[in-house]
Amino acid sequence: MIRVAVTGDVHFAADSVGRLRPHLEADGIQLLLLAGDLTRRGDPGEAAVLARELEGLGFPVVAVLGNHDYHHDAQEELSALLRRAGVTVLEGSAAVLRLSGLSVGIAGVKGFGGGFAGASATDFGEPEMKAFVAVTRRAADELEAALRTLNADVRIALLHYSPVEGTLAGEPAGLWPFLGSYLLAQAVDRAGAHLVIHGHAHSGSPEACTPGGVRVLNVAQPVIHRPFLVLELEAEREIRIA
């Protein structure tokens, strides 16, 4: 059994020092997964604060970026800062870790909006709409491809945007098309996973399932009301919230 800390929307900035590390060091954590919105406004200086918080923890840290991390168009610099601190930053890519005899595969992508069945954007009409939908389709395709590469005891999809409506309940319905896309859930169900983790929906709900029955957790800090959620992963693929 391994203990995995999962959280999202940490929105680090200059005043965030100490918001994660003391808790992580005191809780027997063996892996940390970050579901995007790592910074407040996508400023590299904010990412540097988080990098110092995570450097030298003694266990792996895997992350995807969120929409806030793109605000200053410095996402590559943010990613490089975090990677230099030892963080694995995924975008349409995957990593497999072996911890206490258990292999954990993580496929990561930020994702994008687009909506859900009956209320989704389509790639018809203006080039702006086609471009919007193309971003979501590309993210879903990259997620599916990354999941298919994983040969691991436990397979996790790590996202920022939601793949399902269930974890958006609590957010105004008019915002849902901007908080996730059904295409991400289709990718998960086609490729197979044991768990999906996402953030982004600060007023959403903590748990739901994809149409194919894959468990989905919204781990945005305003939803979990703590620095991180601790999951216990078993070799038999059982996943429990500690």
pLDDT in tens, 193-230: 999 999 999 999 999 999 999 999 999 999 999 999 99
Residue partners of 16: CB distance under 8 A and separation at least 6: 10, 46, 49, 50, 53
Residue 135: name the closest of 225, 43, 70 by CA.
Answer: 70
In contact, 165 and 218? CB cutoff 8 Å: no
Residues in the chain: 242
Looking at residue 6, which CATH number applies to its domain? 3.60.21.10
Residue 160 belongs to what domain range?
Answer: 2-241
The pair phi, psi for residue 224, each rounded to 5°, is -85, -15
pTM: 0.97
Residue 101 to residue 77: CA distance in whole angstroms: 34
Tell me the longest C-alpha to C-alpha distance in the chain: 54
Name beta bridge partners: 215: 195, 209
Predicted pLDDT of residue 235: 74
Predicted pLDDT of residue 26: 83
**Stretches in the chain below the pLDDT threshold 70:** 236
In contact, 166 and 223? CB cutoff 8 Å: no
DSSP string, 192-235: --SEEEE---TTS-SEEE-TT--EEEE-BHHHHTSS-EEEEE-T
Domain count across the chain: 1
Residue 91 to residue 70: CA distance in whole angstroms: 13
Please compute Rg for the chain using Cα positions.
Answer: 17
- pLDDT tens-place string over residues 134-149: 999 999 999 999 999 9
Residue 207: name the closest of 189, 231, 186 by CA.
Answer: 231
One-letter identity of residue 129: M
Residue 117 to residue 210: CA distance in whole angstroms: 13
Residue 239 to residue 50: CA distance in whole angstroms: 28
